[in-house]
Each structure stands twice: as structure tokens, then as C-alpha cells.
Structure 1
Amino acid sequence: MGYQSVLRPGLFSGQVIIVTGGGSGIGRCTAHELAALGARVALVGRKAEKVQAVKAEIEEDGGVASAHVCDIREEAAVKAMVAAVIAEHGRLDGVVNNAGGQFAAPLTGISQKGWETVVRTNLTGGFLIAREAYTQALAKTGGAIVNIVADMWGGMPGMGHSGAARAGMVNFTQTAAVEWAPSGVRVNAVAPGWIASSGMDNYPDTMKSWIRGLADAVPLKRMGTEAEVSAAICFLLSPAAAFISGDCLRIDGAASQGGRVWPMPKAKNNAPFNGFHRAVTPRVLGDG
């Protein structure tokens, strides 16, 4: 069984789409869905073994992918990577700006180096990828960019460096949407809330009980799936979103809409969507 996308088969046939952070989590899932819909996916990550593994998965499922090692925080490396993708595939039609990372710490526990590292990863790197995709290809042909941010409305206690960077990425999305619109380039963002993804296993053991309780803070009373985020990304890349640009779609089960102070009864009729045939439940959630 292959990827069970809700979108029509062949939707992205002939298109080339970069997915940064494509070696795991939401990036891996999105790469699989795009490939299942006919795209040639350029997987980008810092660890060769991870992007190569996803490339092998996609090819085993009948899709087309290439693997590219790149530190998105380094300008020269980003320029070279985008040029290599275009040279290998002959074109570029879209970007999923998914790569990111952070560590848990209160503001007083974040050094300047730690702050700048997270900001470079979650803001500067995304800017560099988008700028190079635009200047090297999309400015001539048009296309779409989707930036992956986070549910940082109302602050992001415990991860203030990431919250600040993600908020900056939303503003960058809005600016780029205006500046690049005359070239036929749409720029949007999606803000995942608490998604059951492999990234949850990267946090320390002291956070496990907190992570397991996150679903209780969501009005829908569950976590989201990687496939629910991927579906939104693929929609925003598609022709159906041709008049949507400069927006940020929250994928969080209404968690950012005030549910923390509103008394919430037990939820019902809230079955998740999971079309990703290779999805793996994070260990921290108790399945493995």
C-alpha cells in the first residue's frame, strides 16, 4: 500500500520540489506525499544517511527523489545546493521550508550562542533557502513556497529562541508574498501545533510526561498526525491555492484559540487522518 493522499493522483507530475529537513518527521512525510503525487523530490538535510534513507523509501514506493546534504545556515552551501538541484532535475517549482530545530530552556538559560544557533536554523536558514530558490529559478517561472513555523501565538515559554525565530518567519512569509507576487510566486506558511512526530523523541526524559499530556490542552483532545500537516502543505503548493499567498495556516486542533482558559468537555467525532503508510508513532507516546 502506498501513500493514501486526499489529493488527486498526478497532481505534481513533472514538478521538482525541494523539501528541507526531509530526512525525518513532517519533512519525510511530506516528501513521500509529494512523490506519491508525481513530484520529483529533492530531499535536503545535514545528515547524508537520513536523506539517503528517505530517498530509498520513496524509490521503493515507485517515486523519484534525490538526496542533498546541506547546512541551511551557510549561505554558500545553500547557493550551491539549489544550483545542484536545478542542474540535476532541470527545473524547480516549489519549496517546503521545513528544516528547523531547538532545545528546551527558559530564557535565562539560553546563551547568546544557543539563541543565535536556533535563530540561524529556524529563521536565517529558511530565508536563505527561499531567496536562492527565488533568485535561481522561481523568479523566472513562478512557483510556490511553504514555510513551516510553529504554534507560537501567545509566546513560546521554554523555547523563546524558537518562538522568536518562528514569528520572524511568519513576517518574512508575508513580506516575500508581496515582493515576489509579480513573478507569480506564492509564499505561505503552516504552523503545526502538537504533532505526533519523531522530533518528540529528541527531547530529554524529564519532558516525557509533559509531552504525553499535551493532547489534554488541545480542544480536539488529541495530537495531530504528520499526514494532517503534509496535506495542508501539499494543498498550499497546489493550483487550488493559486489565490492564497502571505497566509499562515494553523494546524493545531484549535489549541492556539483560547482553549486553555475555556472549560473543555471530553471530545468526540475527532478521528485523525493518517494517509502515511510508513508513519511511526514516537517512542515517547508509548508505542515502542
Structure 2
Amino acid sequence: MDRYHSVFRPGLLKGQVHWVTGGGSGIGRCVAHELAALGATVVISGRSQDKLDRVAEEIRADGGSVHTTAFDIRDEEAVKAGVAAVLAAHGPVAGLVNNAGGQFPAPLMAISKRGFEAVVANNLTGGFLMMRELFTQCMQQHGGAVVNMTADFRNGMPGMGHSGAARAGMSNLTMTAAFEWAHAGVRVNAVAPGWIASSGMDTYGGAMKTLIPKLKQHVPLRRMGVEAEVSAAIVFLLSPAAAFITGVTLQIDGAASLGSAIFPLGSEAKSQPFDGFHRAVTPEVLK
């Protein structure tokens, strides 16, 4: 049976419970697979029970342990109840991967208040609620690690200003939580992926769909990242090896956020992806 090709030692997370929000697709699906392959009991959550069930079926077929719970992280009462139910059923959660989110492309002048607030709720408020409830209901007593999902916002995010604002907020929230919760043995970090070949790319239409296959031309490594490269960084931040790392946002973008447009990129593409995810699927837009 083909298995996840993790760089981390087998059994690294055995006996631990780890929770991945947005675990029904994309990067969250990949992270859930790697955590399970390393021995963790994985909880995946999201709004669609069908998507969660499909991923859970994959993980169980690979010999992993997984449980699902469907609710909306933007609903405060649902988050409180969802966290309580998971803790009652599975015991303390050692790690939270705050992966759930979503956005739509639009220039600032075309974003309504409702649209802006929906994206902020998806990418910032919901993650805050998950962090807060797991801390107050569990990690304050037992310790743990949180890895938040942000994005490449360092030079603004033209065309997705609502997401950029939310993602920058999450990076700042990560620093605050890392400081406030350190006394309890809780570490809080974030990852900021750049252009990653993931199923989320297939949700875009119009001009964005046309642009996506060309994005690698603007990455110094001359390629897009793959889901396993994000997952490996997340697992490291959850692992004992990162015991003295907290409050950081780790860029995973092939240096795309660095440099200047006036400095030419090299023409060769020598970088090879770490292709650890045995069930990875190439987005339709890149085929």
C-alpha cells in the first residue's frame, strides 16, 4: 500500500490528537493525511460533511485514525459546542491547524461591506474563535501548539484586499497569542503559503483562471509549490523540534515575495518539489 512519504520519523505523533480545520480539501486534506501517517488521531472539520467523509475514507484506507465534525467556524456557539464535543470524545487536543478559509478575487472598489466582512470572518474571526476555545477549554491546562494559515500579504494583496487584510490580521494575532499563552506551554505560529498547486485554484474563474498557469513565471524558484511542502512546514511547527519557536509567520513562497520587478529572474527551473503526498491531485487549471 502506498503511504504518505513524510520526512518525519514514523510514530512521531503517536498518542496525540491533532485538529485540522478545512480538512475536506486542498492543503488541509494533505496536512490531515501527513498527521495521520505520523500516528496522530486526526480530527478534520469543515462545513461540508460529504467532503470530510471522502477525506476520512482515504485516511482510513491508508491505515490512519480520523474523525470528522461539521460546523461553521464563523458561528461562535457552534465553535464552542464543537470543541467541547471533540474534547469529550477524544481527550486533549495537542495541535490545531487553523487552515479553514476562503476568498474571492475583486478590486477594492468592487467589494461590498458584506463581502469584506464574509472574507474576514472566514480567514480571521473563525480562526480566532477556534484558537480561543481550544485554549480555554483544553490547552490552558494541557499545553499544545497552534499553526495558523495566512498568505503572502507582505506587499499588500491587490485584487484581494479583503483577504490580505484578514491574513495580515491573523499574522498579528499569532504574535499576540504566542506572547499571552506562552506561560501555559502553548506555542502559536503561522505559515504564509505563496502560490501552491492545490484544489483551491479550481474555485477561481474569469481573469484569475487565465492568470493562474502563468504565476510560476513570477517565482524565483520558477515553479509553484505543492501541498506537501506546506504540510511539512506545518508538521515541523507542531513537532517537539519547534519547542522554542513561537510567534513567527513562516513564508512558503519560493521567494516570490522578495526582490524587485527591475531585477530579472533566472530562466532555468532547477528547483524540484518535495512530492510527499501520495494522493495529491493536480488542479484542473494547471493541466
3-state SS, counterpart of residue 207 of structure 1:
helix
- Report deviation, 1:259: 4.7
CA contact (8 A) 1:188 1:245 kept: yes
Give the structure 2 partner of residue 261 of structure 1. Answer: 262
The 2-side partners of 1:111 and 1:209 are apart by 24
Give the structure 2 partner of residue 29 of structure 1. Answer: 30
- Report deviation, 1:233: 0.1
Give the structure 1 partner of residue 98 of structure 2. Answer: 97
2:190 paired with 1:184: no
The 2-side partners of 1:65 and 1:124 are apart by 26
Give the structure 2 partner of residue 166 of structure 1. Answer: 167
Amino acid in structure 2 at the alignment position of 1:90: G
Give the structure 1 partner of residue 197 of structure 2. Answer: 196
- Report deviation, 1:265: 1.4
Give the structure 2 partner of residue 112 of structure 1. Answer: 113
Amino acid in structure 2 at the alignment position of 1:239: P
- Report deviation, 1:90: 1.7
Give the structure 1 partner of residue 215 of structure 2. Answer: 214
CA contact (8 A) 2:20 2:96 kept: yes
The 1-side partners of 2:126 and 2:260 are apart by 33
Unpaired stretches in structure 1, ≥5 consecutive residues: none
CA contact (8 A) 2:192 2:249 kept: yes
- Report deviation, 1:258: 1.6
The TM-score, its normalising length taken from structure 2, stands at 0.98
- Report deviation, 1:207: 1.9
3-state SS, counterpart of residue 213 of structure 1:
helix
Deviations 1:111-133 (A, max 9, x none): 00000000011000000000011
- Report deviation, 1:52: 1.0
Give the structure 1 partner of residue 253 of structure 2. Answer: 252
- Report deviation, 1:266: 1.5
Deviations 1:64-106 (A, max 9, x none): 0001001000100001111111111122111000000000000
Number of equivalences: 286
3-state SS, counterpart of residue 210 of structure 2:
helix
- Report deviation, 1:217: 0.4
CA contact (8 A) 2:92 2:142 kept: no
The TM-score, its normalising length taken from structure 1, stands at 0.98
CA contact (8 A) 1:219 1:259 kept: no
Give the structure 1 partner of residue 10 of structure 2. Answer: 9
- Report deviation, 1:179: 0.1
In 2 relative to 1, CA 268–19 (structure 1 residues): closer, same or farther, beyond 3 Å?
same
- Report deviation, 1:260: 3.3
The 1-side partners of 2:261 and 2:273 are apart by 21
CA contact (8 A) 2:105 2:208 kept: no
Deviations 1:14-56 (A, max 9, x none): 1101100000000000000000000011000000000111111
Deviations 1:184-241 (A, max 9, x none): 0000000000000000000014322210100000000000000000000000000000
- Which aligned pairs between 1:40-119 and structure 2 lie closer than 5 A? 40-119=41-120
RMSD (CA atoms): 0.8
Moved more, 219-228 or 206-215: 206-215
The 2-side partners of 1:95 and 1:279 are apart by 22
